[in-house]
Amino acid sequence: MLANLLCARPPWLRPLVGLLLLAVLSGANSAEEPARRRFRSVPLSQLTLPCDLTALNAEYVAALNYRRAQRNPGARPAHFEAGLLPGTFLHTYEMERRDSLYHDRDDRTVGEICASVSNLAPYRGRPRELARYIWTRFHNSPPHAAIQRDTSLRFVSVSCLNDFFVVRLSSRPYRANATRQQQFQQTLAIVQAATARQAHLAVRR
């Protein structure tokens, strides 16, 4: 069609069509692949816990039970499941390592909801506020809210690092295998040491 227009009459139309053709070709060649989003805000060696994991889990379960009871007063309460925590924490760490938000497809026996966070500063050292923030983030997304509301998912764990948080929920007690438990303890020790170093530096400043 453009070739036909280049032969068009009157002659004054030809330069305009030529400019149009140049613009179309230039636009096609100048398109760039969008840059992959980066999440991780610090080097992997500087990952820290925003607050005590035990306290965070207790506060999240409390928030979850409060909201579920409002919706369904007769629902059986959820509780923290220690057996879920190794996988929950390790997946949070792995997302930091890969600098990518994704679901763990290796374990399909539990429900998993995860998200990124751009600024944890207001919640550091404040497990109640962080737990409520996590609950609210998922509550504002209908698919995630449906999982949080599901009263059959009574066994719960939550984990959070610098840029991601993960909640896992199960309808029955869960037990991590020995290898997973060992990986969890080793990785948690590394992150706890980094957390202690950062706290020490903050005091010295």
pLDDT, average across residues 48-64: 97
In this structure, are 162 and 63 located in the same domain? yes
- What separation in angstroms does the CA of 56 have from each of 72, 85, 109, 122, 125? 24, 12, 23, 15, 10
Q: Are 55 and 126 in contact (CB under 8 A)?
A: no
Does one domain contain both 2 and 95? no
Instruction: Give me the pLDDT at residue 17, please.
Output: 33
Average pLDDT over residues 26-53: 65
Nearest to 167 by CA among 95, 94, 93, 115: 115
Domain assignment of residue 37, yes or no: no
What's the average model confidence in pLDDT over 146-170? 96
52 and 136 co-located in one domain? yes
Residue 116 lies in a domain: yes
**pLDDT (average), residues 118-126:** 94
For the chain, what is the mean pLDDT? 83
**How far is 161 from 50, CA to CA, in rounded Å?**
6
User: Within this chain, do residues 101 and 145 fall inside the same structural domain, yes or no?
Assistant: yes
Among 124, 107, 126, 128, smallest CA distance to 174 is for 107
Find the domain containing 12 and state its range: 1-31
The model's confidence at residue 205, banded by pLDDT at 50, 70 and 90, is low
Contact 99, 149 (CB under 8 A): no
Rg for the chain (alpha carbons), in Å? 25
pLDDT for 61-88, tens place per residue? 999 999 999 999 999 999 999 999 999 9
pLDDT > 70: percent of the chain: 80
CA proximity to 90, closest of 195, 186, 197: 186
Pair 123, 152 in one domain: yes
Pairing mode, if any, of strands 164-170 and 155-160?
antiparallel
In the chain, how many domains are there? 2
Please count the residues of the chain.
Answer: 205
Domain with 178 in it: what CATH number? 3.40.33.10
Report the pLDDT value the prediction gives residue 37, as an integer from 0 to 100: 62
Question: Which pLDDT score, from 0 to 100, does residue 15 have?
Answer: 38
36 within domain boundaries: no
Together in a domain, 27 and 48: no
Share of the chain above pLDDT 90, in %: 69
pTM given for the model: 0.79
Q: What does the pLDDT average to over 168-197? A: 95
Residue 168 predicted with pLDDT over 60? yes
Residue pair 109/170 in contact (Cβ under 8 Å)? The answer is yes
Asked whether residue 18 falls in the same domain as residue 90, the answer is no
Flag whether pLDDT at 39 surpasses 90: no
Together in a domain, 183 and 142: yes
Is-contact 120 137, C-beta < 8 A? no
